[in-house]
Every structure is written in structure tokens, then in C-alpha cells.
Chains A and B, each alone.
Chain A
């Protein structure tokens, strides 16, 4: 399909992916929704773009904001009209977080989630390295932190408290 505009469907799809994927999580602005694995799909059909995103947690309050930002970014880039769809399945997991995303999280001071986010990761004793000094000598202060996706930890070596992006 090349009839609709200057870009063919595939080029437009990839351009939308880049623009939408660059939208950041309003609660963790160091991560893009591509890093998080929240951006799931981009489709172009009949001249319209449909972007699919998935929530991290059922009640994540950032979703409405993310959907709006995606819409704005795509329209601003001249790639609209666009609609944003939210899907629940397959359920988001921290295993979808990119390596680049994990590195950015660590540099931002948040310990990235352990890989293998199943029940074992959840209920085994978790080993979390301090994002500040790298020490494995850390302990959980609170299982629920400043956002739904984080818990609060403390490093026994450098004594700094830090957020841990929970396995999910």
C-alpha cells in the first residue's frame, strides 16, 4: 500500500515504532516504553496507525499518560492519524526489559529486576546488588515502594537506600 501518503506502510510502521518507542515512562523517565517492553505492536492499515501497549500492573496509573504521549508523539511527527490500544495478554513481565533498559535503570540508581520473573524469582530469597556501589550485601526494607513496580531496599555496605524494580 503506497496510496495514502509519502511513506509506504512498512516505512511508516518503522517510523512510528521509533517515535512511539521513544516515549518515556512518566514515573521512571530514564526508561522508554520500548526499553520497558510496554510497546507491543504497531500496525498500519487503511492509512491509519494503531499502536498497541500493555500495562505493567493492572492499576498502573501511568498508562493513560503513556497512551496520550504516544498519540501526541506520532501526530507531531506527522505520522498520524493514530489510535492507541491497550492489551492485557500476554501479561507483561520484567523479562521483556531490554539490556539497555537494565543498564539505564542501574545508572539512574534503581536496581534492575532479576531475570526469570516466575514464582521462583518472587519467593526465593532475592539477591539484589546495590546500584550505587555494587555490593551484594543488601536487604529489603519494604516490599511495596514508591510505585507499583518497585520495592525499597538498603545497602549494608554503602548504607544507601535504593529502589528495586520488582520481578513481575
Chain B
């Protein structure tokens, strides 16, 4: 049962579900890279725990995509057998871990967005999306609290931790605009009450981010230019390397199970 890359027959709903799943999977994978390398034992466990939550959320969404596509695929096929261009995650989540400050700032930017997003999606007219969101929301609340506490601790810490946190905020800022991006297909789902309009969450996101950065004594970046591309499959060079590790087993031994 040799299996090469798959090409998904994307309806707007499948594309929408895969984008949410890809965000969670790629960020979850990034966090898993810290396993055994975090600065303290407690953080090692925290990052692995958050990664596990995110991968769990991705699994629920990929399973739903498989159900909707009805092409005899499993959750694993979407994760292991799509090429880089088939992934629709935002560029933010594929950015390398860098130092601990960069990982925490990336997590904070994402969690401050996704926590209210899941909250709003619990009201989706789609029963499965609503169910996934209701579980994910409880988990993202913990992720938001944890990452926000670290952003404050690092920003308002030593000169060195402040410098690193500030560099991370400045470097990652240009990737935050994509969180609020939609396309025609997604806007139709929003109109039907299936999806959530991310633009409606931008004020809440900005409020959370401004408040935490202020507490962290970190200036809110002013640059308005935003880097996009991830939602349409145009990724940074980092995603291909990430996937080569994530997909290695299934690519080298197609159909392997354990």
C-alpha cells in the first residue's frame, strides 16, 4: 500500500477545517521540539502538555475533514501525506522556536487570538466544529494564561530577558496580521454561521496583547506591514524542514502502523 502525497478535494468547509487543524498541528509540533530541551523541568512539561493539547485539537479537526471529504482518508493522511503547499497554517506558527522568549511570544500571540476564537466558534451551526471548539477553548485558556505570564516575567525581568522578549515581539509582529485573514469561501461560511469572522475578534486580541505587553514593559510594535501567504500554501522556508521531520516515518515506510 505505497502511498505518495495526497491532493485533497477542497470544498470551502474542508479548506476551513484543514486551516484550523494545520495551525494547531504545526504549533503543537513546534512545542514538541522543546521536549527534553526546555530551560527547566516544569517548563519542559508545560510545553509538552500544551503541544499535546494542540495536536489533540488537530486530530479532532482532521477526523472531521476526513468525514466531510468522504474519500476514505484518515486523520493521519492529512498530517503525513500532504505536501508543504497543501498546508494552510498561518506563518506565525511555523516560525522556529528560537530562544525561550521567542517561543513564549509566539504562543502568546496565537493564544490571545485562538482563545476567543474557539469561544465564539462554540456557537457554530456546525455541531462538530462547535464540539471541537468547546473542548479547545478550555485548553487555550490555560495556554493563554501560561504564555502571558511568561511574556510579563521575561519582559519585566532582567536586561537580557527584556532584550530577548522585545526582539521576539518585534520579529514576530509582522506575522500576526494573517490571523485575521479570510477568503471568499471562508466569508460564505461566516455568513452561514459555520465559521467565525476573525476580524470581529481583532479588538479583543489587540486589547489583550496591549495590556500584557504594557505589563511586560515591552513596547507595542507600530509597523503596519504584515507578511501573509500561509493560508494560501505559500510558506516560509521553515515549514518544509518541519514537515520533513514530522512526515519522515510515513514517507519512508508508507502505511506503517504500530
Contacts and interface: CB of A to CB of B under 8 A. Distances in A.
Interface of A: 55, 57-61, 87-92, 119, 122-123, 141-146, 148, 152, 166, 168
Nearest to A152: B42
A144 B138 CA distance: 14
Contacts of A92: 135
Contacts of A168: 138
A59 B127 CA distance: 20
27 contacts: A55-B135, A57-B53, A58-B53, A58-B57, A58-B60, A58-B135, A59-B28, A59-B52, A59-B59, A88-B131, A88-B134, A91-B138, A92-B135, A122-B142, A141-B42, A142-B45, A142-B46, A143-B46, A143-B145, A144-B42, A144-B45, A144-B49, A144-B142, A144-B146, A145-B45, A145-B49, A146-B45
B218 interface: no
Nearest to A92: B135
Contacts, number: 74
A87 B45 CA distance: 27
B149 to A, nearest CB: 8
Given A59-B52, A59-B59, A152-B42, 12 more contacts: A55-B135, A58-B132, A59-B54, A59-B55, A61-B52, A88-B131, A88-B134, A89-B131, A91-B138, A123-B141, A142-B45, A143-B46
Nearest to B130: A89
Interface in B209-223: none
B139 interface: yes
Contacts of A88: 60, 128, 131-132, 134-135
Given A58-B60, A59-B55, A143 B142 contact: yes
Residues of A contacting B: mostly: loop
A142 B46 CA distance: 8
Contacts of B55: 59
B105 interface: no
Closest 8 CB pairs of A and B: A59-B56, A58-B56, A89-B131, A142-B42, A144-B46, A88-B131, A59-B52, A144-B49
Interface in B22-49: 28, 42, 45-46, 48-49
A146 B46 CA distance: 9
B93 interface: no
Given A58-B139, A88-B134, A89-B130, A148 B42 contact: no
Interface string B4-19: 0000000000000000
Contact of A89 (B42, B46, B134, B138): B134
Contacts of A87: 131
Contacts of B169: none
Contacts of B136: 58
Contact of B145 (A57, A60, A123): A123
B42 A90 contact: no
Nearest to B48: A144
Nearest to A119: B141
Contacts of A166: 142
Contacts of B128: 88
B121 interface: no
Contacts of A55: 56, 135
Nearest to A87: B131
Contact of A91 (B45, B53, B59, B135): B135
B50 interface: yes
B60 to A, nearest CB: 6
A88 to B, nearest CB: 4
Nearest to A61: B52
